[in-house]
Amino acid sequence: MQHSSNIMRHVYGWLLLTPAAILLIAFTHYPTVATFFESTFSKGTSIRPSRFVGIENYELMMEDPIFWKVLVNNLWFAAGTIPASIGLAIAMALLVNKALPGRSFLRLAYFTPTILPMIAVANIWLFFYSPDIGLIDQVLGWFGFSGHNGWFGFSGHNWLGDPSTVLGAIIVMTIWKEAGFFMIFYLAALQHLPPELEEAAKLEGASRWYYFRRVVFPLLMPTTLFVLVNAVLNSFKLVDHLFVLTKGGPDNASNLLLYYIYENAFSYFDTSYAATLTVVLLTMLALMALAQFFFLDKRIHYR
């Protein structure tokens, strides 16, 4: 009787797990395996069907100058967005966690960019970056930071058309979009910190910076690990903004890895090469996630 009860308990547990397992296999594991197999075939056409080529696509990728440029762009993009977004999110969370007048409105203002659709955000910043008539050029023109012969006596800069500024412009927009989202997690973590810690620090005469560095920030590390993983993933999956703002230009100066995959799959119809790039992207993200968990998790204090 006991043995039969244990079997029924196991069956009941597997039945509860089955719906989630089906979704996970259908939308995560199977596409990953299918993508890997797709990357081992050549590009197929109506005249010449695809054939098995092994690692030939990977060899072509290693010789592709655009791939290396896109990869470097993405690494610079990640280096520019991840620390800045996390640092700004912590600063905003510390600010709105205080008893300030209009605190609820300030929290809403910080969080509003997060709930805006990506296409809407891209169009807003497209207006900001437009030469001459854009908000940035207008403000710079009022203060005399631009050249002559434009509106108000000044000519604007083509922020999205200049290879030296386009990636930085995308980075600034992404930080503005993501910092408010990360702020919510830090704000929740700050509100769960015991108030006795701050009182004890004040009695000991600790400065605010010392209290934050020695007490608050270490206790925020579990949240930081979670935010860091999400920030890394976000930095490698930007497509919508590039589609509206630059389409990867000029001369691939703002092209990122996922958008390059999109181009190969839906513009050039080379799904095999797109699958090859996807495998590389998934491998990079998996290695970075494992590194974060194995190296940072050991330095994190969980209460």
The model's pLDDT over 92-139, given as tens digits with 9 standing for 90+, comes to: 999 888 866 777 788 888 888 888 888 888 888 988 998 888 888 888
Position 299 scores a pLDDT of 65
DSSP letter at 147? B
pLDDT tens digit string along 172-217? 999 999 999 999 999 999 988 888 887 888 877 778 888 888 888 8
Q: Are the C-beta atoms of 275 and 260 separated by less than 8 Å?
A: no
Residue type at position 47: I
Kindly report the CA angle at 165 between 161 and 166, in degrees rounded to 5?
55
* Domain residue ranges in the chain: 59-299
Q: CATH assignment of 59-299?
A: 1.10.3720.10
Dist CA 157 CA 140 (whole Å): 10
> Which distant-in-sequence residues (6+ apart) come within 8 Å of 134 by Cβ?
127, 128, 156, 159
DSSP string, 4-61: HHHHHHHHHHHHHHHHHHHHHIIIIIHHHHHHHHHTTBPPP-SSS---B-TTHHHHHH
pLDDT tens digit string along 56-95? 999 999 999 999 999 999 999 999 999 999 999 999 999 8
